[in-house]
Amino acid sequence: MSEEVVSKNFIENIIDKDLEEGTYSEIVTRFPPEPNGYLHIGHAKSILLNYGIAKKYGGKFNFRFDDTNPTKEDEEYVQSILEDIKWLGADFGGEVLYASNYFDQMYEVAIKLIKKGKAYVDDLSADEIRQYRGTLTEPGKNSPYRDRSIDENLKLFEEMKDGVYPDGSKVLRAKIDMASPNINMRDPIIYRIARMTHHNTGDKWVIYPMYDFAHPLEDAFEGITHSLCTLEFEDHRPLYNWVVEEAEFPHPPKQIEFAKLYLTNVVTGKRYIKKLVEDGVVDGWDDPRLVSLAALRRRGFTPESLKTFMELVGISKSQSSCDYAMLEYCIREDLKPKAPRYMGVLRPLKLIIDNYPEGQTEEFEIENNSDNPEAGNRKITFSKELYIEQDDFMEEPPRKYFRLFPGNEVRLKGAYFVKCTGFDKNEAGEITAVHATYDPETRSGSGFEGRKVKGTIHWVNAADAVSAEVRLYENLIDEEKGKLNEDGTLNFNPNSLEVVEAKLEAASGEMKPGEHVQFIRNGYFVVDTKDSTPEKLVFNRVVGLKSSYKPEAK
């Protein structure tokens, strides 16, 4: 019996201690996206972390739209985020929560703070507030409105809510400490006046809470115990704690920060992805070269591969960039036993078997997946005219080239040995067909042991081959030469997309959008979910077969 060594991340250690000490009895986590863009691989890390913890501790996982800022939000994003989270399999119990549903409760907390003398209405302009705030090295100054009476503050705040004052003319601020070394604690603004129509609350509100006030309250209202966020919020934690303490929650949530996920050779970050889409560098949010979840799904990544990847990456407090090759490793491992292995020729060249009878077709039985006997066998057909890869033939081969060249014999995978007898060239000097003879003795499965050949190549039967568009991808950014150019723009890889017209074995024609296949020697592919039709199949290459990443031995 092998004993499993369970190593815990630093967040789980904190949770264990909290449970032991009775700080909380049930663990509740959440994922709170702002509906202002598509989710990307970094969000998947956050989702799987939060969901994984809730599941591990038999707790609850909440899914909440952080929709307190009406300007940037969009229904399109709401729908895509829902689709992504379902795809990842993060079960939030079916109830979608909205921060905007708590606007009334948030308003009540603001009143409570005013009554405690912990919040005040300020008439300073935005510019003045900035000037009064001080700098990293100098303390701020108190606003002349800071000492308004509680009654006056209550009256003014109510009038703010009732629409008495124009946008931007007044704010509600927390009364903390203008001399705090932490600028976030220098009387942060907690409510602003802004006449904006909100997708959920319509025109009910003309005042909206600020993120640093709203977020801890949303967590507290839902009974979140551990509010996991990324490192940039570390300096906001004192304010988070201040809000939940002053609001007097009996079991306030705890904010814990972890490092964001970054990947080499790609663009993460909602704003950056958005810019690529808007600039037309890529073809929409789900362009398979992006790492938005919609794009990864379309490219052929699976939820399982992302889970494995996140486990490999782990959770830490130090910022670092992960090698994209690691993500590729994870999808290969996932697809290895699952995807059938077919033959497909990406850049077709005719191979004519001159001594094979005209009009004859024979069948060969071939295994679907050499790593998975349960995947069974299938039949492929063979006849006089086949397709092979252009680079599996060379007129004048270099040393150690074991594939087809005049006079050389190779094995056609699953079929016969063939010997190259010549080739045809057109007037432009391009090779248009290769000629060969086959040896009937060498039929696959016949037990032939007469001689050996060094090269095995794949092929498809021209008579029943399926034509398809195949999209071959490389990383969007060429990081070898540095992520940025001298002028600060991104250093795009000009070869990030290549489109070829491939010839695939007949079984490929039955494949449905989203299904995976390995085309042997060429990599893993998926039928494109957006552009593929039964008449015109489109495949995306998920990943090649060679790996530059080796997992560390455990």
Binding site for ligand ATP (CB under 6 A): 32-34, 42-43, 45-46, 229-230, 260-261, 268-271
Task: Report the nearest approach of ligand ATP to the CB of residue 304 (Å).
Answer: 19
Task: Report the nearest approach of ligand ATP to the CB of residue 166 (Å).
Answer: 29
Task: Report the nearest approach of ligand ATP to the CB of residue 206 (Å).
Answer: 24
> Are 472 and 497 a contacting pair, CB within 8 Å?
yes
Q: What are phi and psi of 165, to 5 degrees?
A: -110, 145
Instruction: Report how far residue 469's alpha carbon sits from residue 217's, in angstroms, rounded to the nearest whole number.
Output: 51
Q: Give residue number: closest CB to ligand ATP.
A: 42
Q: What angle do CA 59, 61, 67 make, to 5 degrees?
A: 150
Task: Report the nearest approach of ligand ATP to the CB of residue 43 (Å).
Answer: 5
Instruction: Report how far residue 240's alpha carbon sits from residue 217's, in angstroms, rounded to the nearest whole number.
Output: 9
Which ranges of 92-136 does DSSP label H, i.e. alpha helix? 103-115, 126-132
Altogether, the residues listed in the chain come to a count of 554
Instruction: Report how far residue 371's alpha carbon sits from residue 344's, in angstroms, rounded to the nearest whole number.
Output: 19
User: Hey, is 217 helix, strand or coil?
Assistant: helix
Task: Report the nearest approach of ligand ATP to the CB of residue 266 (Å).
Answer: 11
Residue 261 or 527: the one with the smaller Cβ distance to ligand ATP is 261
Task: Report the nearest approach of ligand ATP to the CB of residue 163 (Å).
Answer: 29
Q: What angle do CA 515, 520, 524 make, to 5 degrees?
A: 40
Torsion angle defined by CA atoms of residues 250, 251, 255 and 261, in that order, rounded to the nearest 10 degrees: -150
Strand order in the sheet with 171-174: 119-122, 171-174, 189-193, 207-209
> Are 42 and 76 a contacting pair, CB within 8 Å?
no
Rg (CA), the chain: 31
* H helix count then E strand count, the chain: 12, 27
Instruction: Count Cα atoms within 13 angstroms, Cβ side, for 312.
Output: 22
Task: Report the nearest approach of ligand ATP to the CB of residue 101 (Å).
Answer: 18
Q: Token pair 């939940």 is at which residue?
A: 244
CA neighbor of 516 nearest in space, from 507, 508, 505, 526: 526
Residue 113 or 291: the one with the smaller Cβ distance to ligand ATP is 291
Q: What are phi and psi of 385, to 5 degrees?
A: -110, 125
Residue 219 or 505: the one with the smaller Cβ distance to ligand ATP is 219
Residue 74 or 203: the one with the smaller Cβ distance to ligand ATP is 74
Instruction: Report how far residue 91's alpha carbon sits from residue 106's, in angstroms, rounded to the nearest whole number.
Output: 27
Residue 275 or 425: the one with the smaller Cβ distance to ligand ATP is 275
Residue 269 or 514: the one with the smaller Cβ distance to ligand ATP is 269
Residue 270 or 458: the one with the smaller Cβ distance to ligand ATP is 270
The helix or strand, by DSSP H or E, that contains position 422, with its residue range, turns out to be: strand 417-425
Task: Report the nearest approach of ligand ATP to the CB of residue 314 (Å).
Answer: 12
Instruction: Report how far residue 292's alpha carbon sits from residue 273's, in angstroms, rounded to the nearest whole number.
Output: 8
Residue 100 or 522: the one with the smaller Cβ distance to ligand ATP is 100
DSSP string, 132-183: HT--SSS-----TTTT--HHHHHHHHHHHHTT-S-TTS-EEEE-S-TT-SSG
Q: From residue 475, give the alpha-carbon distance in Å to each of 203, 384, 478, 496.
A: 45, 39, 7, 6
Residue 330 or 526: the one with the smaller Cβ distance to ligand ATP is 330
> In sequence order, what are the beta bridge partners of 420?
436
Task: Report the nearest approach of ligand ATP to the CB of residue 230 (Å).
Answer: 4
- Dihedral sign for Cα atoms in the order 76, 81, 84, 89: negative
Residue 114 or 229: the one with the smaller Cβ distance to ligand ATP is 229
Residue 33 or 340: the one with the smaller Cβ distance to ligand ATP is 33
Residue 210 or 349: the one with the smaller Cβ distance to ligand ATP is 210
Task: Report the nearest approach of ligand ATP to the CB of residue 543 (Å).
Answer: 21
Query: Rounded to a whole number, what is the largest CA-CA distance in the chain?
Result: 103
Instruction: Report how far residue 216's alpha carbon sits from residue 212's, in angstroms, rounded to the nearest whole number.
Output: 7
Task: Report the nearest approach of ligand ATP to the CB of residue 269 (Å).
Answer: 4
> Are 273 and 41 a contacting pair, CB within 8 Å?
no
Task: Report the nearest approach of ligand ATP to the CB of residue 260 (Å).
Answer: 4
Residue 122 or 219: the one with the smaller Cβ distance to ligand ATP is 219
Instruction: Report how far residue 152's alpha carbon sits from residue 175's, in angstroms, rounded to the nearest whole number.
Output: 15
Task: Report the nearest approach of ligand ATP to the CB of residue 126 (Å).
Answer: 22
Residue 271 or 550: the one with the smaller Cβ distance to ligand ATP is 271
User: Hey, is 282 helix, strand or coil?
Assistant: coil
Task: Report the nearest approach of ligand ATP to the CB of residue 62 (Å).
Answer: 12
For 475, the token pair is 């990383």
